[in-house]
Amino acid sequence: MTDSQSAKDSSKGSPSSPRAAAAAAKRRRLSAAAARVLHEQGVERTAIADIAKAADVPVGNVYYYFKTKDDLVEAALTEHAARLTALTDELDRLPDPRARLKALVHAWLSQRETAARYGCPTGTLAAELDKRTPGGLDHTAAQVIRRLLDWTTAQFHALGTADPDGNAVTLIAAYQGMSLLTNALRDPDLMTREGTRLLSWLDNVR
Amino acid sequence: MTDSQSAKDSSKGSPSSPRAAAAAAKRRRLSAAAARVLHEQGVERTAIADIAKAADVPVGNVYYYFKTKDDLVEAALTEHAARLTALTDELDRLPDPRARLKALVHAWLSQRETAARYGCPTGTLAAELDKRTPGGLDHTAAQVIRRLLDWTTAQFHALGTADPDGNAVTLIAAYQGMSLLTNALRDPDLMTREGTRLLSWLDNVR
Amino acid sequence: MTDSQSAKDSSKGSPSSPRAAAAAAKRRRLSAAAARVLHEQGVERTAIADIAKAADVPVGNVYYYFKTKDDLVEAALTEHAARLTALTDELDRLPDPRARLKALVHAWLSQRETAARYGCPTGTLAAELDKRTPGGLDHTAAQVIRRLLDWTTAQFHALGTADPDGNAVTLIAAYQGMSLLTNALRDPDLMTREGTRLLSWLDNVR
Amino acid sequence: MTDSQSAKDSSKGSPSSPRAAAAAAKRRRLSAAAARVLHEQGVERTAIADIAKAADVPVGNVYYYFKTKDDLVEAALTEHAARLTALTDELDRLPDPRARLKALVHAWLSQRETAARYGCPTGTLAAELDKRTPGGLDHTAAQVIRRLLDWTTAQFHALGTADPDGNAVTLIAAYQGMSLLTNALRDPDLMTREGTRLLSWLDNVR
DNA sequence: AATGAATGAGTTTTCATTCAT
DNA sequence: CATGAATGAAAACTCATTCAT
């Protein structure tokens, strides 16, 4: 997270003024648009103007909210991270960790059509960001993936499995892998089949 | 395969003249450079000039061998496909299908440092090409993946497993997924750990 | 007419803001420069940079006003069409259709020096555009010519001649032909002589 | 005509050797191909490679016969001039000058489909060459047109008309003009109609 | 003479970013 | 704060012409 939010009030808490509220709304609109368009078109093939248009914000104005394109990419990832948080928060309400993991898989499956068209947002962004910042080690996409891994590890831990870390990697890798294959082959059913396998694996894992 | 090889003799067979041999060599140099640079930098971040420089060929001359950038991308994929063929040919010498699959995993593991830096060539190219040609369904990267899937299916079939297709998808998805995670987290050990799991899975699969 | 005027207000009517007025002025400057330079140098021999320089606009900025070179060509033709309209509007004030046609010929004659150097703008553009878009049937230049034909036909009709359509074709063809010869031979007097003949023909046509 | 024929025997007379004969044949093939392709595609949109391919001559070899692209354009015009000569030679066999002129018009009409697609070869080339050599006054295309004018003038002279020069300009201008309109509007019938008018004009001209 | 290959300048186009109001 | 417009640095691609056998 950079200082690109300077001069605006933080995204948390109640806005200090209606003007600031409008600004925050615009910022959110841009983030959401960036999340969607960057996922659909890819980072390099997306011009700032594309995102501006999708968010219905004048091009010149984008730079008031995000100093660089990279900032917008980061915002898109933050958006995806927020959705992940919303999802895990939801899943955390389930009492059983096994049920949580299975619900996670179901959530993936519900997105299979999108995956067939555009792949997993976080996965594709991670791959693109890796090329985009040749030296940059720990980009935001990696962080989002790490958070997903951590949450998953925690579930396997709660489940009392022998190797929670390994299980988490296995599960998330399976997700990323089947997303990529589903996307490459444009076949949502592939994800259904592989998801079914994951569900029965989760039923038996220990 | 397009007609981009027109006016040059094919890469197989003995060259008809020293002239043609030199041209074929240059063509191969360009393909190899493209395979490497496109993998390292990504398609969109790579300029023709980058590949030209890597192959030590003047930029303008590249267009004598490849009419468009897309042709170069295709050549890079053909290069990767050739490497895959070389690998499976090698593996096919092993008498036991199970041993072949395990050797495949070992081959992956031997590439873990590269994967940690740049990901799986075919996987990352597949993801990029998907964005690059919005309408294009069956790009070359997808074909390469499909060939890998087919070979793997054949092994599981020979092994007499109940669901060779599903097993193949599982294995290749696991590979793509662990490549992506390994790359995102820049952690080659992740691939070692996950590879070890795959090996023991292969020992027990039926 | 394409949507190349999007985001700018139309060239007619009062500008909505000084900003927009300046933009419209620049757009007009570019159109006028395009009309002139494309006529003088030909479409294929003219680089966008030539037009940009003639209009004193940075090259990159041209693309803010015209998305492609073809758009600029179209703008040039629109410019020529506007001049034609201005001319026919002027001629329409004359009460007698015969007088109108003769005034048209006089207008042509007044341009004979330009014709000797560069030919008839519409005619040369029509010839070039025909090669430029191999499949394209009805390019803008053809439309401009058609409008001139239509106006001329109307005059012959008002004159009560037996074959207004044929007369119009004869007159306009004579104009295009003498423009081409005048240009090829660089001889403005040729146009004077042929124009004189046309005038006496118009005096007697029925 | 440049010195581009140096080192080859002249195009007239019997070749001094079979080798020279082959060379002359190739030269003629290139000229013919240039005449056709340049007419169809326009000078600026035609690459040397296009002509080479049409003549089935290796690109590099073209330069042995024609030092520059301009030389090839000139050769194409020489080709067209030769056809004109062949035509007028043919017409000269007719005893009556009026019959000759009418036969000329008939010859034009027989080419109306080509004119509708590509215009008059000499006329379009003249227009293009005019842009191509900004300073160059008397290009070859102009010479060809002049020769046509001269021949036509001679016929009107033989016919005893009052203004042979003016009549010739009128006739040739009518031809160029109707070719341009026919091409722009892609309407071969236009040429038929206008040609018919020219024929009856020729019947009555004095 | 023949020819595949090389060269390098030129052209169109895109876009992130900045600026002026 | 907003916004249309400006800018300049790439990047892909084309091609006439030349070169090395």
Task: Transcribe D44-80 into DSSP letters.
Answer: TT--HHHHHHHHT--HHHHHHH-SSHHHHHHHHHHHH
- B59 CA to E6 C1' in angstroms comes to 10
How far is the alpha carbon of C145 from chain D, nearest alpha carbon, in Å?
8
Residue B42 has pLDDT above 50, yes or no: yes
Joined together, the tokens standing for residue D163 give 């203004």
pLDDT of residue A11: 45
pLDDT of residue B152: 98
A36 and A54 in contact (C-beta within 8 Å)? yes
How far is the alpha carbon of B94 from chain A, nearest alpha carbon, in Å?
27
From the list B134, B137, B174, the residue facing A173 with the nearest CB is B174
How far is the alpha carbon of B11 from chain A, nearest alpha carbon, in Å?
28
Let me know if chains C and D touch, i.e. at least 3 Cβ pairs under 8 angstroms. Answer: yes
| Substitution target from B176, B179, B192, B204 for chain A, most A beta carbons within 10 A | B176
Mean pLDDT taken over chain D: 91
| Size of chain B, expressed as the number of residues it contains | 206
Q: How far is it, in rounded angstroms, from Cα A189 to Cα A186?
A: 9
Q: How far is it, in rounded angstroms, from Cα B55 to Cα A104?
A: 47
User: Would you call D178 and C181 a contact, using CB atoms and an 8 Å cutoff?
Assistant: no
Q: Residue B140's pLDDT band (boundaries 50, 70, 90)? A: confident
Q: Which residues of B touch A44 (CB under 8 A)?
A: 42, 44-45, 131
C124 and C118 in contact (C-beta within 8 Å)? yes
User: Would you call C166 and D41 a contact, using CB atoms and an 8 Å cutoff?
Assistant: no
| Size of chain D, expressed as the number of residues it contains | 206
| Size of chain C, expressed as the number of residues it contains | 206
pLDDT of residue A133: 85
Distance from the Cα of residue D156 to its chain's centroid = 21
The residue among D23 and A6 whose pLDDT is bigger is: D23
Q: Residue D197's pLDDT band (boundaries 50, 70, 90)? A: very high
* Residue B177: count of CB within 10 angstroms of its CB: 28
A66 and A104 in contact (C-beta within 8 Å)? no
Joined together, the tokens standing for residue A203 give 């039923």
The torsion angle over the Cα atoms of residues B119, B120, B122 and B127, rounded to 10 degrees, is -40
How far is the alpha carbon of B131 from chain A, nearest alpha carbon, in Å?
6
Q: How far is it, in rounded angstroms, from Cα C145 to Cα C176?
A: 10
Q: Which residues of A touch B178 (CB under 8 A)?
A: 169, 173, 177
Nearest alpha-carbon partner for D50 in D33, D68, D27, D29? D33
User: Would you call A180 and B126 a contact, using CB atoms and an 8 Å cutoff?
Assistant: yes
| Nucleotide F6, nearest residue via CA and C1' | C61
Q: How far is it, in rounded angstroms, from Cα B97 to Cα C177?
A: 81
Q: How far is it, in rounded angstroms, from Cα D172 to Cα B95?
A: 85
Express each pLDDT in D106-147 by its tens digit: 999 999 999 999 999 999 999 999 999 877 666 789 999 999
Joined together, the tokens standing for residue A68 give 């660089």
Percent of chain D beyond pLDDT 90? 83
Q: How far is it, in rounded angstroms, from Cα D113 to Cα A86?
A: 70
User: Would you call B119 and A137 a contact, using CB atoms and an 8 Å cutoff?
Assistant: no
Mean pLDDT taken over chain C: 91
B153 and B165 in contact (C-beta within 8 Å)? yes
- B60 CA to E1 C1' in angstroms comes to 27
Express each pLDDT in C129-181 by its tens digit: 999 987 766 688 999 999 999 999 999 999 999 999 999 999 999 999 999 99
Q: How far is it, in rounded angstroms, from Cα B120 to Cα B39?
A: 8
C146 CB contacts (<8 Å, ≥6 apart)?
A: D185
- C66 CA to F11 C1' in angstroms comes to 20
Q: Residue C5's pLDDT band (boundaries 50, 70, 90)? A: very low
Residue C100, phi then psi, degrees to nearest 5: -60, -45
Q: Residue B139's pLDDT band (boundaries 50, 70, 90)? A: confident
C38: phi > 0 → left, psi -120 to 50 → alpha, else beta; which?
Answer: alpha
D83 and D108 in contact (C-beta within 8 Å)? no
Q: How far is it, in rounded angstroms, from Cα D113 to Cα D108?
A: 10
The runs of H, that is alpha helices, within chain C are 18-41, 48-55, 59-65, 69-92, 97-110, 112-118, 121-132, 140-159, 164-184, 188-204
Q: Which nucleotide is nearest to D7 (CA to C1')?
A: E1
D42 and D50 in contact (C-beta within 8 Å)? no
CA dihedral sign, ordered A72, A77, A82, A87: positive
pLDDT of residue C13: 44
- The nearest alpha carbon in chain D to C130 belongs to D184
CA dihedral sign, ordered D63, D65, D67, D73: negative
Q: Which helix (H) or strand (E) holds C160?
A: none
pLDDT of residue D4: 41
pLDDT of residue D97: 98
Residue D15 has pLDDT above 90, yes or no: no
Which nucleotides of strand E come closer than 7 angstroms to any CB of the protein?
Answer: 1-21
User: Would you call A181 and B172 a contact, using CB atoms and an 8 Å cutoff?
Assistant: yes
Q: Residue C44, SS3?
A: coil
User: Which of B105-109, B132-136, C38-42 has the least mean pLDDT?
Assistant: B132-136
Over its C-alpha atoms, chain C yields an Rg (Å, rounded) of 18
Which nucleotides of strand F come closer than 7 angstroms to any CB of the protein?
Answer: 1-21
pLDDT of residue C20: 76
Q: How far is it, in rounded angstroms, from Cα B196 to Cα B45?
A: 34
Q: How far is it, in rounded angstroms, from Cα B41 to Cα A133?
A: 10
pTM of the complete model = 0.89
Q: Which residues of B touch A81 (CB under 8 A)?
A: none
3-state SS, B56-100, equals CCCHHHHHHHCCCHHHHHHHHHHHHHHHHHHHHHHHHCCCCHHHH
* C-alpha angle B118-A187-B85 in degrees, rounded to nearest 5: 50
Q: Residue D182's pLDDT band (boundaries 50, 70, 90)? A: very high
The runs of H, that is alpha helices, within A42-96 are 48-55, 59-65, 69-92
* Chain B touching partners, 3 or more CB pairs below 8 A: A
Q: Which residues of C touch D198 (CB under 8 A)?
A: none
Express each pLDDT in B64-120 by its tens digit: 999 999 999 999 999 999 999 999 999 999 999 999 999 999 999 999 999 999 999
- D61 CA to E1 C1' in angstroms comes to 9
pLDDT of residue D133: 84
- B7 CA to E2 C1' in angstroms comes to 16
Q: Which residues of D touch C194 (CB under 8 A)?
A: 166, 169-170, 173
pLDDT-flagged residues of chain A (< 50): 1-13
Q: How far is it, in rounded angstroms, from Cα B52 to Cα B179?
A: 28
What distances in angstroms separate CA D194 from CA B162, D89, D105, one per listed residue?
81, 25, 10
